[in-house]
Amino acid sequence: FSGPQLKVVATMSSGWDNVDVAECRRRGIEVCKTPDIAADAAADIAVALILMTSRNIVQGIDAIRQNLFHCWKPFWLCGSGLINKTIGILGFGRVGFGIARRIKPFGVERILYNDLEEIEYAENCAQYVSLDTLFSSSDILCICCGVNSLTKGMVNSKLLQRMKRTSILINTSRGVVVNHDDLAEALSDGTIAAAGLDVTDPEPLPVGHPLLTQPKCVILPHMGTNTAETRVAMSVNTAKNILAVLN
């Protein structure tokens, strides 16, 4: 940090885990973030990952690039549809609600969620269940929770083993929520069917990490908020946060 002239640290993100908030508090420095703006874009990318993993889209793109597509085959690259599936959402905040709102028209049978407590606005679109039920019942499980002492490293081999062998794990929250070594093992031994990650720990994953060569794992470069509209809105909001503190 600079000297005593520093009054505010404004981060253009929905979280502030990249800022030493405790040190800022100690020095009387205000910390600002932009939590309300990026939820729609993040929910969009979660749905994109659901479709990419469930329908083997990346494998299809690779097949075209490698000239492996020569004729129609009845069961080649067959994925799984969303009709009558159960979608689970861990953390039913802005992003979780956005996923539920977007995924319902696909014809899913149930949308389940788990959070610290039941959420009133979720009543008409999702059902509150225990953490164990969420992991054991979901065909596709979306992680949207914040990072804290309860969620850091939460998704480990113990929880992954409760999932169906046909299930898919999606993480658009923060990489530290998932134990990536346990996830790689779960994909390798068929504990779960696939995973779609917009976030990892660390970012990027080190060269040679088993997830990078796992054919059933789609990894994006933390691009959940990467729309021009969202980034402009986040920039403007960050500037307004700074002015609000200084004024």
For the stretch 93-109, pLDDT in tens is 999 999 999 999 999 99
For the stretch 11-25, pLDDT in tens is 998 888 789 999 999
Q: pLDDT tier at 2 (50, 70, 90 boundaries)?
A: low
Mean pLDDT (the chain, rounded):
95
In terms of domains, do 108 and 20 share one? no
In terms of domains, do 19 and 106 share one? no
In terms of domains, do 102 and 126 share one? yes
In terms of domains, do 58 and 117 share one? yes
Active-site residue, from 70, 180, 209, 222: 222
124: Cβ contacts below 8 Å, ≥ 6 apart = none
Better-predicted residue by pLDDT, 145 or 18: 145
For the stretch 34-81, pLDDT in tens is 988 999 999 999 999 999 999 999 999 999 999 999 998 999 999 999
Does some domain include residue 3?
no
In terms of domains, do 215 and 129 share one? yes
The proportion of the chain whose per-residue pLDDT surpasses 90, expressed as a percent, equals: 89
pLDDT score, position 124: 86
In terms of domains, do 156 and 240 share one? no
pLDDT score, position 36: 81
The domain that holds 89 is classified in CATH as 3.40.50.720
Is 222 an active-site residue?
A: yes
207: Cβ contacts below 8 Å, ≥ 6 apart = none
Does some domain include residue 2?
no
Rounded Cα–Cα distance for residues 101 and 51 (Å)? 15
The proportion of the chain whose per-residue pLDDT surpasses 70, expressed as a percent, equals: 99
For the stretch 152-172, pLDDT in tens is 999 999 999 999 999 999 999
Structure tokens at 157: 């081999």
Does some domain include residue 81?
yes
In terms of domains, do 196 and 75 share one? yes
* Overall average pLDDT of the 128-139 stretch: 98
Q: State the residue for tokens 């049978």.
A: 109
Cα dihedral 5→8→9→10 (10° resolution): -140
Q: How many domains does the chain have?
A: 2
* Boundaries of domain holding 116: 39-219
* Overall average pLDDT of the 74-93 stretch: 96
Whether residue 1 has pLDDT greater than 60: no
In terms of domains, do 164 and 94 share one? yes
In terms of domains, do 132 and 86 share one? yes
Does some domain include residue 30?
yes
pLDDT score, position 191: 98
What pTM, to 2 d.p., does this model score? 0.92
Does some domain include residue 1?
no
In terms of domains, do 138 and 17 share one? no
